[in-house]
Amino acid sequence: MNTQDIPPLSKDSPVVLEMSNISKSFGAVTALVDVSIKLRQGEVLALVGDNGAGKSTLIKILSGFHQPDTGTIVSQGKEVRFASPRDARAQGIETVYQDLALIGDLSVFHNMFLGREYHKRFLGLNLLDNRKMREQAQLYLDTLGISIPSVNSTVDLLSGGQRQCIAVARSIYSSPKILVLDEPLAALGVRESAHVLGLIQNLRQQRQVSVILIVHNYNQIFEVCDRINFLHSGEVALDASTADTSEEELIRIVKSGLGRKAIDAAAAEVRPGLV
Ligand SMILES: Nc1ncnc2c1ncn2[C@@H]1O[C@H](COP(=O)(O)OP(=O)(O)OP(=O)(O)O)[C@@H](O)[C@H]1O
């Protein structure tokens, strides 16, 4: 499936998140300068940039791990401040980090319900309701189009792509408004990545959850994203819809280290009237 198969995001889709003028330094290191990003309902936004550009810092601010030095976050039309990841989660913002936080020697269904297990009473005892969790997990994975050998498999036996899909599925089980995926395709091969890209594509088609995706492979961005924000030296150097830009332009901008406006302005000076 590629971008053309999914209708473009409606222009009327409401803005669910606005991070405005976010700056953050760690001692003498400036990680973010006046960064503003916007996310619409159901949108898949790619956050790209070189190592050290500030992507992780931005999503850690959104997830409540860091607090910004300046700037505001407006979620569902309300200004919010996150003192901890728990605060962000309470506002419907879920983040899947690269370590996935799955327990390898537990089954898929146990991982899916970790911390929110179903219980049943039996002979006066409070026992895990494994049957219910198994059924629910299977149903839920089917809805998301995630195919694994069995929900009884231990997570260690799954491929990297399947593990990533389970971590995403677990995060969206609580119906968050915003899902942040920190390099979900890192270290995955082509077939593995296809699993995860398929899942993101399904989410995008359903348009229930808005997704921020940190990704390094530009080709994959054009497969599954509606919009791209390119961060460079702590600033947003490009904010464009995937329909309005191309992989070639993105690579040109990334290589130049400038934003599209700066490139166009420079081109206009060289060839007035052509830009
Ligand atoms: N906790 C921290 N303490 C000190 N400096 C930090 C901390 N976190 C990030 N930085 C610095 O902030 C800058 C931005 O880092 P960040 O991790 O946000 O970039 P990134 O775009 O996610 O990079 P990568 O793609 O390599 O993960 C870097 O110079 C980094 O060294």
Total domains, the chain: 1
Query: Is 25 close to ligand 1, i.e. is its CB under 6 Å away?
Result: no
219: confidence class by pLDDT, cuts 50, 70, 90 = confident
Task: Summarize pLDDT for 98-145 with one digit per residue, the tens.
Answer: 888 899 999 999 999 998 999 999 888 999 999 999 999 999 999 888
Q: What whole-number percentage of the chain has pLDDT above 70?
A: 92
Query: Is 204 close to ligand 1, i.e. is its CB under 6 Å away?
Result: no
Query: Is 53 close to ligand 1, i.e. is its CB under 6 Å away?
Result: yes
Note whether residue 185 is domain-resident: yes
pLDDT at 2 exceeding the cut of 60: no
More confident residue, 43 or 251: 43
Q: Give pLDDT, residue 12.
A: 87
Cα 62-177-24 angle, rounded to 5 deg:
10
Q: What is the mean pLDDT of residues 259-269?
A: 68
What phi, psi does 38 have (nearest 5°)? Answer: -130, 145
Note whether residue 232 is domain-resident: yes
User: The tokens of 142 are what?
Assistant: 């089917």
Q: Of 176-180, 216-220, 264-268, which range is least confident?
A: 264-268
84: CA distance to ligand 1 center in Å? 19
Q: Give pLDDT, residue 263.
A: 67
Query: Is 229 close to ligand 1, i.e. is its CB under 6 Å away?
Result: no
Q: What is the mean pLDDT of residues 54-77?
A: 96
Query: Is 182 close to ligand 1, i.e. is its CB under 6 Å away?
Result: no
Note whether residue 72 is domain-resident: yes
Query: Is 26 close to ligand 1, i.e. is its CB under 6 Å away?
Result: yes
Q: Give pLDDT, residue 29.
A: 95
Q: What is the mean pLDDT of residues 169-198?
A: 88
Q: Give pLDDT, residue 47.
A: 96
Q: What is the mean pLDDT of residues 186-208?
A: 87
Query: Is 61 close to ligand 1, i.e. is its CB under 6 Å away?
Result: no
Note whether residue 113 is domain-resident: no
Query: Is 31 close to ligand 1, i.e. is its CB under 6 Å away?
Result: yes
Note whether residue 196 is domain-resident: yes
The residue nearest atom 26 of ligand 1, judged by CA position, is 51
Answer yes or no: is the ipTM higher than 0.90. Answer: yes
Q: In ligand 1, which atom is closest to the CA atom of 60? A: 18
Q: What is the mean pLDDT of residues 232-247?
A: 90
Q: In ligand 1, which atom is closest to the CA atom of 66? A: 1
80 near 74, Cβ under 8 Å? yes
Note whether residue 204 is domain-resident: yes
**Mean pLDDT for the chain overall:** 89
Note whether residue 115 is domain-resident: no
272: confidence class by pLDDT, cuts 50, 70, 90 = low
- Return the best residue to mutate from 23, 24, 25, 29 for the ligand 1 pocket (most ligand atoms within 8 A of CB): 29
pLDDT at 193 exceeding the cut of 90: no
Could you tell me the residue range of the domain that residue 201 belongs to?
Answer: 13-100+175-270
160: CA distance to ligand 1 center in Å? 25
- Return the best residue to mutate from 57, 66, 183 for the ligand 1 pocket (most ligand atoms within 8 A of CB): 57
- CATH code of 203's domain: 3.40.50.300
The residue nearest atom 11 of ligand 1, judged by CA position, is 31
239: CA distance to ligand 1 center in Å? 21
Q: What is the mean pLDDT of residues 234-255?
A: 88
Query: Is 257 close to ligand 1, i.e. is its CB under 6 Å away?
Result: no
Q: What is the mean pLDDT of residues 34-41?
A: 96
Note whether residue 48 is domain-resident: yes
Q: What is the mean pLDDT of residues 168-182?
A: 92
